[in-house]
Amino acid sequence: MCGIVGIVDASRSAGWLRENVTAMADAVLHRGPDAGGVWIDGEAGVALGHRRLSILDLSELGAQPMVSASGRYVLSYNGEVYNFADLRTELRALGAQFHGSGDTEVILAAVEAWGIQAAVERLAGMFAMAIWDRHNHELSLVRDRVGIKPLYWAQFGRLFFFGSELKALLACSGWRPEVDRDALAAYARWNYVPTPHCIFRGAAKLAPGTILTLRPGALPQISPYWNLRALIKDRPHAPLAANDSATIDEFETLLRGVVGEHMASDVPLGAFLSGGTDSSLVVALMQAQSQRPVRSFTIGFHEPGYNEATHAAAVARHLGTDHTELYVGPERALAIIPKLAQYYDEPFADSSQIPTFLVSEMTRHRVTVALSGDGGDELFAGYTRYRWAELVRSRFLSLPLALRRGMARFVEMAPSGMWDAAGKALPRQWRVGRVGERAVKFARFLRQPDADAVYTRQHTHWDDPESLVVDSREPRGAPFDATLARDIPDFIERMQLLDLLTYLPDDILTKVDRASMAVSLEVRVPLLDHRVVEFAWRMPPQMKIRSGTSKWLLRQVLYRHVPQQLIDRPKMGFSVPVAAWLRGPLRAWAESLLDEKRLREAGYFDPKPVRGAWAGLLAGRDVEQEALWGILMFEAWRDRYDVPTERAPARAAVA
C-alpha cells in the first residue's frame, strides 16, 4: 500500500513544486515507509509524489511515480490490482513489454492500450491513482468502485492539489484551511464527514467509482465509471442458478478465486479473525488454499458483552491457523485516544476505531498484509438493524403516529435490565447483545414518519445537527433522496444500497484504512471485490435472508468449512464499552473536552444539548455514548490540528 500526492499549478516554480510535493509526501510517510519518489515537470507546473509500502515486486522496477513505456503517461498509485497477471498476458499479446513483476507497469500499459476510463473499467482491485497525460496536459484522479482507498483534493485559484490523506494537503504551503460548518453539521449526524464533503472549506473527497479530470484552463470535471445504483436498478431478477446447491457452488468458486488473488504478496500475509461469519469465511478460504497455517489475529475485551475473542479462537483451532490474540482494557484505550485525531485527519467517531487500530498494530508485528471480512453485512443483509427496521416498517408504521409515540414512551420507561432479560428469551436468530440500549433506539424508530426515516434514524447521532452546530446548514445526500424508493422498492435492499454508498466507504473503510496505514499495514477486503459485489446484487433477496437467517448464502459456503455451531450465535459487532469507559477511566479526559466554557468560547457547538447528553450518560443512558463520542473526537481533533476558536461567519441572505 502507498501514499500519493500531487500539485498542478503552472504559475509555480519547479523549486516550489518540488519543495511542497516533497513535504506532502513526507506527511504520509506512514503509508509508505519503504521508499519514496517525486516527478516534476516545471514547465507544465506539475509535481507528483509517492510513498511506497513494498508488497509486490520489491525491486526498484516497482518504484513510483512511474512513466509509461511511450513516455506519455506518469502514474502515482495507491492500491492493488488483483487481476494484473491476466491483464499482463492480454497486453503482451498486443505488443506491450514488461520489465518488472508488479501491477503498476500493467496499469500504465493498459492506459496506453485502451485509454484511461476503459483501462480503469477492467481493473479489479482497490486503488486511488493520479495519471498525468504529458501530451494533453491533463490530470486524471481515479478512486476504486466502493471506496476502499481514499483520495482528497482541493483547488484555490490556479492551485490544484491532492493526496491520500488530508494531512498531505495540510502540508502544502499554498493553503489556509478553515472549518466548514456545514460539513460539521453532517458530521454531527453521522459521526463522519460524508463524501464528497471535507471538514475544511474548499477541499473534497473524490467519490468512489469516479474519475476527476483536470484540463488546462477548466474546472475539474467528475464523472462515474461505475454506478452501483444503476447496476442494481437495471439488474436481472432471475435466480443465478437452477437450484440452491448450484448457486452455492458458483458463489464458492467465485469467492475462492477472489480470495486466492488477494493472497498474492511478496511479503508476509495474514488475516483479521473475529469469529463472525465474514472473517471466518475469508480465513477458511485462505486456509483451503495455503500450504501452511494462515496467520490470524483478533482483539478481545474483558467485558463479556463485547468479547468475541473466544469464538475467534474456536474457529482458529478448527481451521488450524497460527492464531494470535490480544486482550484490551481501558488503559490501552487511554494510550490510543490522544493519537486518533492524528491518524484520522478529519473528525471521525466510530468508537471501534480503537480496537481496529490495536488489532492492526498487533498484526503488523508479524505480517505486512492482512485480509479482512469487511463488506459482508452490507452485501448480504447481515446487520441486525436491517431486520429491526423492516419489523418497524411492516408491523408498526401503519399504526397512528400518536399510538407509536405512546409505545415509544413505554419502551423508554422500562429499565434497561428488564429489556436485557427479555432479549434472552427471543428466538436464537433474533438475539443481540445490549438489548436495553437497542430498545431505546427501537423506540426512536417508532417515532419516524416513514421507512426511509427509520433508516436515517439508525445512523443519526444528533437529531437536529443545524441546531447543535452554530450557523450551519446540513448538506443532504443519498439518505434523503426521495427517488431512491422508486428505483429500489425493497426496503432492506434500499438500506443495503445506502450503506454501500455512505456508511461503508465513509465509516467502515475509512476506519480500517487509517488505522492500518498508521502502522504501515495493508488491509485487503476480498468481499468488496467488485466481482463479488455485482454477484451479490444479482441474487434474489431470499439468498441473503431466509427464514430469519441473515447472510444465508455466505453461511452455506462457510458451513462447508466450519461447523455451524461455531458460527451461529447472536451478532455482537466490533465495538467497545465506550459508556463504561467514559463514566470511569476516561471521565476526566471527557469532562475537560466537554467543559461548557470551552464549548461556548470555541463557538462551534451549542453547549446545552452537549452537556445534557453528558449528564444523561453519567446517569446511565448508554444510548448517548456514540453522540458524545462524536463531540469528543471533534474537540480532540481541534486540539491536535490547532484549529482556531472562531465565531460563526455571517451568512449571505438566501432569496
pLDDT in tens, 151-167: 999 999 999 999 999 99
pLDDT value at position 273? 96
Stretch 506-519: mean pLDDT, rounded? 97
Confirm whether 198 is a catalytic residue: no
Structure confidence at residue 301 (pLDDT): 76
Res 388 pLDDT > 80: yes
CA–CA distance, 458 with 520 (Å, rounded to integer): 33
Place of cell 481496529: 356
CA 244 → CA 252, 254, 284, 474, distances in Å? 12, 15, 21, 45
Cell numbers 474537540: residue:
635
Mean pLDDT of 37-61: 86
Mean pLDDT of 194-199: 98
**In the chain, where the domains are located:** 2-226, 237-380+503-567, 384-495, 578-640
pLDDT above 60 for 239: no
The rounded percent of the chain whose pLDDT value lies above 90 is: 71
Domain 237-380+503-567, CATH number (from 3.30.540.10, 3.40.50.620, 3.40.640.10, 1.10.260.40): 3.40.50.620
Strand partners, 127: 79
Mean pLDDT, rounded, for 52-67? 79
For 53-124, strand residue ranges (E) read: 66-67, 73-81
Annotated catalytic residue within 2, 75, 631, 633:
2
Q: Is residue 643 classed as helix, strand or coil in its secondary structure?
A: coil
Give the range among 127-131, 137-141, 572-576, 581-585 with minimum mean pLDDT: 572-576
Say which residue, 102 or 606, is predicted with more confidence: 606
The reported pLDDT for the residue numbered 260 is 96
**305 vs 601, more confident:** 601
Instruction: With a cut of 50, say whether residue 654 has pLDDT above it.
Output: no
Superfamily for domain range 2-226: Aminohydrolase, N-terminal nucleophile (Ntn) domain (3.60.20.10)
The per-residue pLDDT for 166 is 96
Residue 526: per-residue pLDDT = 98
Please tell me the predicted confidence (pLDDT) of residue 49: 97
Q: What distance in Å separates the CA atoms of residue 188 and residue 213, rounded to the nearest whole number?
A: 31
Cell numbers found for residue 411: 419502551
Query: In 10 A of CB 415, how many CB atoms?
Result: 10
What number is the average pLDDT over the span 427-447? 73
CA distance 117 to 119: 5
pTM (2 decimals)?
Answer: 0.93
**pLDDT for 465-488, tens place per residue?**
999 999 999 999 999 999 999 999
Q: 3-state DSSP helix/strand/coil percent for the chain, to nearest 5? A: 50, 15, 35
pLDDT beyond 50 at 649:
no
Would you call the peptide bond into 330 cis, given omega within 30 degrees of 0 as the criterion?
no
Handedness of CA 137, 96, 124, 279 (dihedral sign): negative
